[in-house]
Amino acid sequence: MSVPSWYWRLARPDALTVWENPEVRRRLSWYYDVMVDVKPAKFMIAKRIGSPEDPDKLDLEGLWSLHQELSREFWSVFEKIRDNKLRFNELPVPDEKNLLHVKARIAWETIRSCTICERRCRFNRLEGKRGVCQLDYRVYVHSWFHHLGEEAPLVPSGTIFYGGCNFRCVFCQNYDISQVYPRSGVEVDARRLALIQKELRENGARNINHVGGDPTPSLHVILESLIYLDVNVPQLWNSNMYLTEESMLLLRDVIDIWLPDFKYGNNKCAIRLSAAPRYWEVITRNLKMIAEWKDPIIIRHLVLPNHIECCTKPVLKWIAENIPHALVNIMDQYRPEHLVAKYPERWPDIARRPSWREIREAYDYASKLGLVYEPVS
Tens-digit pLDDT profile for residues 330-369: 999 999 999 999 999 999 999 999 999 999 999 999 999 9
Q: Where are the alpha helices (DSSP H) in 12-131?
A: 15-19, 22-27, 29-35, 42-46, 60-82, 99-110
**pLDDT tens across 233-250, in order?**
999 999 999 999 999 999
Whichever domain contains 340, its CATH number is: 3.20.20.70
**pLDDT tens across 171-200, in order?**
999 999 999 999 999 999 999 999 999 999
pLDDT band of residue 76 (cuts 50, 70, 90) is: very high
Indicate whether 297 belongs to any domain: yes
Indicate whether 247 belongs to any domain: no
Q: What is the pLDDT of residue 20?
A: 73
DSSP-assigned letter for residue 152: G
Indicate whether 275 belongs to any domain: yes
Name the more confident of 265 and 22: 265
Q: How many domains does the chain have?
A: 1
Name the more confident of 2 and 229: 229
Global pTM reads 0.95
Please give the residue range of the domain that contains residue 344.
261-377
Pick from 226, 217, 43: which is nearest to 117 by CA?
Answer: 217
Between 2-16, 56-70, 303-317, the lowest mean confidence (pLDDT) is in: 2-16
Give the mean pLDDT of the chain: 95
Q: What is the pLDDT of residue 313?
A: 98
Region 283-305: mean pLDDT is 98
DSSP-assigned letter for residue 177: I
Indicate whether 146 belongs to any domain: no
Q: What is the pLDDT of residue 1?
A: 41
Indicate whether 350 belongs to any domain: yes
Indicate whether 232 belongs to any domain: no
Asked whether the beta carbons of 324 and 340 are under 8 A apart, the reply is no
